[in-house]
Amino acid sequence: MHIAIYHNILWSKYKGGVFSQVYVQSKARGIGTSFVQIAETDDERVALGDVDLSYHNYPFRLLFRGAYSHPSRWRRVITLVQDVFKHPSDLVVMPGYHRVEYWAMLLICILLRRKRAVFCDSTEFDRPKSDWRELAKRVFFSGCDGFFCYGIRSKEYLLKYGAEESKIIYRYQAAALPHEYDPAEVLARYQALPSTARKVHRFTYVGRFSVEKGINDLLEAFAKVYSRTSDVRLELVGAGPLRAELAARVAELKLGQVVSFLGAKSINEIGELFVESTALVLPSHSEPWGLVVNESLSYGCPVVVSNVCGCVPDLVIDGVTGYSFEVGDIEALSQAMLSSINMAADRVAVAKQCLAVISEFTPNRAASQILDGCQRIVGDPP
């Protein structure tokens, strides 16, 4: 049995961690696997850092250097079709369904009579719908033999578009953490902190500075929080096209002394920020999952997350791992942030709760579920 797994960009550390485990476990099961990365990165992620190959401990073929958009669409189509044709496998796992090159992969698999599956991380809240898109998704999904999704909402999304439940492989979503990460050490750090409540409460945002992330909502809500308690700070980690606009809004709200733009940070530096934070805030208007929530919980840091983020039903337990709020509701967001301050009264207990919830969401567990699904699709029970 041989599986060919295609992925869009090498930049994704978390996929590197999962694919590394797929490779290790596949060898133990006697399954052949090949991994194909289409490009190194994409335009949105260039400013967030370079590709870190230390997370990709498996053999892979890289089809294009640089960003995904650099080769033309038709060059991507031709290259992917040729790659599928030249490298026989029992199952082809496609990276998605929203690009013409993925449709070309589906068609060649059908013509070659190869089993095909697709990674799907979409949810009902992702993007505006149109009739032709709705029909296209149904057509694409009808041609697949299996689906790999993470999260309750992603599974519900597939069912809505006619995917058979028996063909849906539900798997955990796993973040890429520092190689030396140890949850016991994280908890020990909280246990070593003074028992008194923090004097200054720090809220942290990590991600791209783009419209769909809802950062303007965060600034408005933080202004409300600051008007009620002055012992708060907001730290914004990342980069993106809204940087100048956000800085201007901070000035208008007279928050320059309490809001900091920290730029892009390494994965280790972000972990340090989480330990010092009262909560991670993710106010996204569209977010298929929200891996930064996994990262935050892995450092014992509770979260404040908009209700459209895909991870909410799986990871956000009100009063336990943080709070969710109605997307776009500034007052609800500010109240959720204030509620998270109350959680900080016992950071050790909160850290234990966060670590317990996230403990199953590991690359090892995700890889096992992927391989179980591949064997099921091919008809070779594990």
Report yes or no: 314 and 289 within 8 Å, Cβ to Cβ: no
- List per-residue pLDDT tens for the chain, 382 residues long: 999 999 999 999 999 999 999 999 999 999 999 999 999 998 777 666 688 999 999 999 999 999 999 999 999 999 999 999 999 999 999 999 999 999 999 999 999 999 999 999 888 887 666 778 788 999 999 999 999 998 899 999 999 999 999 999 987 899 999 999 999 999 999 999 876 656 899 999 999 999 999 999 999 999 999 999 999 999 999 998 999 999 999 999 999 999 999 999 999 999 999 999 999 999 999 999 999 999 999 999 999 999 999 999 999 999 999 999 999 999 999 999 999 999 988 999 999 999 999 999 999 999 999 999 999 999 976 6
- One domain for residues 213 and 86: no
Looking at residue 197, what is its pLDDT? 55
Whether 135 and 194 map to the same domain: the answer is: no
Domain count across the chain: 2
d(CA 273, CA 206) in angstroms, rounded, equals 10
Same domain, 141 and 230: no
Closest CA to 186 of 291, 275, 267: 275
Domain that holds residue 352: 183-358
Q: Are 269 and 184 in contact (CB under 8 A)?
A: no
- CATH assignment of the domain containing 129: 3.40.50.2000
If asked whether residues 170 and 228 sit together in one domain, one would say no
Whether 294 and 239 share a structural domain: yes
What pLDDT, on a 0 to 100 scale, did the predictor assign at position 14?
Answer: 92
Dist. CA 321–CA 338, nearest whole Å: 14
**Smallest Cα–Cα separation from 168: which of 238, 127, 118, 94?**
118
Helix axes 100-112, 131-142, angle to 10 degrees: 30
Q: Are residues 156 and 193 in the same domain?
A: no
Residues 25 and 153 in one domain: yes
* β-strand pairing of 322-325 with 259-263: unpaired
The answer on 328 and 227 residing in a single domain is yes
Same domain, 248 and 321: yes
The Cα 276–Cα 270 span in angstroms is 10
Whole-angstrom distance, CA of residue 197 vs CA of residue 216: 29
* HSE (side-chain half, CA atoms, 13 Å) at 180: 4
Residues 314 and 209 in one domain: yes
Q: Note whether 145 and 125 are same-domain residues.
A: yes
Element (H, E) at 119: strand 115-120
8 A C-beta contact, residue 15 and residue 175: no
**146 in Cβ contact with 169 (< 8 Å):** yes
Examine the domain organization and report whether 10 and 133 are in the same domain: yes
